[in-house]
Structure 1
């Protein structure tokens, strides 16, 4: 049986020559690049730099809604204008609707950073896909995500959620058609096109997932939060001059 035409690793945090080489070696056709605390223009520039005929880099933003202690992550694809972190959930969703972005739910019900089952249910009509396999999560966590998607009849997606280059290509979303560029990938998610969620197996896959899981301890410490708020002028805070006050009314920090 031949594989579907386009394999998309739907969420990675790192992008350089090693990542590109790793993705190509793993047969990945497109990466969604959505680093933390990075503005959309910077993400786009880097995506353009590393895209070529064999690998499409799709710019994405994992927006942190709510405050640091009660944040909910949303992965937006196809944004035309920057959206900051630390705005209200409704504020973020309204902006995504205005820009006709594809809205994906990463790692549902994971720790205190993800949408819960009731939250996903309440907003199901505004959600384009749920992550049903995340290479860094444990089997029971991925099984829980799959149940949520099944019960709500929402499409799934798979990703490595790679913060480390070695994890790229451990999981992907396989679409049943050729998606030649970033716009086509976004359209496929927005329109709910047929896909299969696929992941590698074996001891190497499990070890890479566990290493990524351990990396979360750093990603979610107050040390990182303290670094974020050192000056109040960090790139994705609503107060940054780049947003020209457009999000002041939905900022969770005053």
Structure 2
């Protein structure tokens, strides 16, 4: 670079190739070479620093985009697990009724088709309106009422403004389905399920309670909140929400299992 600069300056511009130097030169000298090399070194260092900074920023963006893509993929996978898990349990119920030749079977199939339509076509976005989620739960409750008849009592309370609120799709339905799986299917006699939706400010206070299973072996499993449904919800909450945006708790009080979820719905 020094040689090229010297020759171009000497041949095309002026013979005084080092006007800022201590003396006029007509040929390459050691002092000229060192001075020019230091000047070029400053430029190269500055350009290299810019290049390294740009590369680091690009790599950081690539890693961030990759992590985001992995997060979205994992969330989609977790959400995709819910529908097969839910439909598997419901189809088992339909099979039992069909074996008994129950006249409830057609109504349950119709309700199931409504739920399938919702889950297949209206849960593709990251968030769904709270109104639609509650409507989906109501359809599920109608299905369970048909299946269980008079032995089942479901009390659902809604308070606060549920309009213009959003939540992850079929998140709450998992708790409802789990309550029926353990609290109704594994109990005999009359069963009461209480569900409470309360919107206060930017948060939904969701509480669902059901009787504990009568069989001891199921109690142990239920106390640990085992099963794909609950574990799935826990993971979805961790991935889809900030830790400060939700609080999930389980409690067993007087043989009644209670799930409480406080979650941001804006």
Give the TM bin, normalised by the shorter chain: under 0.3
TM-score (norm 2): 0.23
TM-score (norm 1): 0.24
Q: Which protein has the larger Cα radius of gyration, Structure 1 or Structure 2? A: 2
More helix by share: 2
Query: Which has the higher relative contact order, 1 or 2, with Cα contacts under 8 A spaced 6 or more apart?
Result: 1
